[in-house]
Amino acid sequence: MKAMVLQQSAEVGSNPLVLTDVLLPEPLIGQIRVKVHVCGVCRTDLHVVEGELPEAKRPVIPGHQIVGVVDKVGEDVRNFNEGDRVGVAWLQKTCGKCNFCISARENLCDRSTFTGYHVDGGFAEYIVASESFVYTMPYEFHDEEAAPLLCAGIIGYRALRLSGIRPGQHLGFYGFGAAAHIAIQVAKHWGCSVSVFSQREHHRVLALELGASWVGGSSEVPREKLHCAIMFAPAGELVPFAMRALGKGGTLAIAGIHMSPIPSLNYDEELFGERVIRSVTANTKQDGLDLLQIASEIPIRTHTELFSLEEANFALQTMKAGKIQGAGVLDLRRG
């Protein structure tokens, strides 16, 4: 099968992913094999490619927002059959036995396995995955519309939950890429007003189209204090600005898996008043199930830009430059 393979981490402008013929994977016990139709392009893929995360598997096939059809099932698979339309996300497998796993916090399991990082992912024609963390995909969405829900959507949804935002409150988004353009649709569904802080004019335009009540630059001050905020941009230097924009008792949820250094905070101006900073780490299976349900109810409409498998390097470069409106998606059904 064809796959875009990373042999060694490098700056994405050097085109480090190489189109390669690799062996067709076989599902093991409890696994399914999926014929990949589409795979979303995520900033986490960029962190893997450029070596900003601790190195894991090499060589590796990135990609963890996968929509396709079950092609083959391994032994003891109970929930899926050949021909089922499914989604594979970042969290692939956990130990199932630790305190985190048995308390529905499996996203914190120290023995977690992640798609496109510890095991080969969806920048390929086929992938194998543990059935435990595979999703049945709603038919309300075409494949390319569904792919961004599997990471951008799930992480945005978890960030909303961990921010503590309540219906009708004022929420701030710092950065407005793939995750934020989905999360704003959930927040508006809950009756929240959303202020968006972004340096890129085309992102501000999309934010207004999706219902933002105010848009401005990353360091600007909103008209009213925020009840809660989410940091989608991997820019630690923006954290003090976000903390100053928060009202007393507000929470800043940091949604990225990687963040540039955070400057020291002024306790009186940026933390006092029971303001909280908390990280968002991966997701639970329930986060994914809940997100897919609410996405169908709203229904969420994702904005996507399609690329071929061979254009994976270019897709990552375009995302890094902030030139994608919404989410990039590799479409393996096109040449």
Using only C-alpha atoms, what is the Rg of the chain? 19
Q: Which two tokens stand for residue 36?
A: 């990949």
Q: What is the DSSP code (8-state) at residue 63? A: -
Q: With 70 as the cut, is the pLDDT of residue 223 above it?
A: yes
pLDDT digits (tens, 9 = 90+) for 19-57: 999 999 999 999 999 999 999 999 999 999 999 999 899
CATH class of 153-279: alpha beta
* Closest to 209 in 3D by CA, of 67, 326, 85: 326
Query: In terms of pTM, does the model score above 0.85?
Result: yes
| Arithmetic mean of pLDDT, 258-263 | 95
At residue 115, the 3 state secondary structure works out as strand
pLDDT digits (tens, 9 = 90+) for 181-193: 999 999 999 999 9
CB 166 within 8 A of CB 227: yes
Identify the helix (H) or strand (E) that includes residue 59. Answer: none
* Closest to 291 in 3D by CA, of 179, 206, 208: 179
pLDDT digits (tens, 9 = 90+) for 271-286: 999 999 999 999 999 9
Residue 181: count of CB within 10 angstroms of its CB: 28
Backbone angles phi, psi at 289, to 5 degrees: -65, -45
| Arithmetic mean of pLDDT, 140-144 | 95
| Arithmetic mean of pLDDT, 112-139 | 97
* Closest to 222 in 3D by CA, of 172, 167, 263: 172
Q: Which CATH architecture has domain 2-141+302-331?
A: Alpha-Beta Complex (3.90)
Q: Which two tokens stand for residue 295?
A: 């996405």
Q: In the chain, what are the domain boundaries? A: 2-141+302-331, 153-279
CB 36 within 8 A of CB 332: yes
CB 229 within 8 A of CB 245: yes
Query: Over pLDDT 70: what percentage of the chain?
Result: 100
Q: With 90 as the cut, is the pLDDT of residue 133 above it?
A: yes
Q: With 90 as the cut, is the pLDDT of residue 66 above it?
A: yes
Cα→Cα distances 292→93, 174, 264, 289, 296, Å? 19, 24, 38, 5, 6
Residue-averaged pLDDT of the chain: 96
Strands (E), the chain: 2-6, 17-21, 31-41, 66-73, 85-88, 91-93, 113-114, 126-130, 134-136, 170-174, 193-197, 214-216, 226-231, 246-254, 276-279, 304-307, 327-331
Cα→Cα distances 210→90, 188, 237, 293, Å? 26, 9, 27, 20
Residue 86: count of CB within 10 angstroms of its CB: 19
Report the distance separating Cα 263 and Cα 189, nearest Å.
Answer: 34
Reported as a pLDDT band with limits 50, 70 and 90, residue 137 is very high
pLDDT digits (tens, 9 = 90+) for 284-309: 999 999 999 999 999 999 999 999 99
CB 300 within 8 A of CB 186: yes
Quick one: pLDDT at residue 335?
Answer: 58
Quick one: pLDDT at residue 334?
Answer: 76
Residues 6+ apart with CB under 8 A from 310: 4, 19, 335
Q: With 90 as the cut, is the pLDDT of residue 169 above it?
A: yes
| Arithmetic mean of pLDDT, 214-241 | 96
Backbone angles phi, psi at 152, to 5 degrees: -55, -45
Quick one: pLDDT at residue 22?
Answer: 98
Give the total residue count for the chain: 335
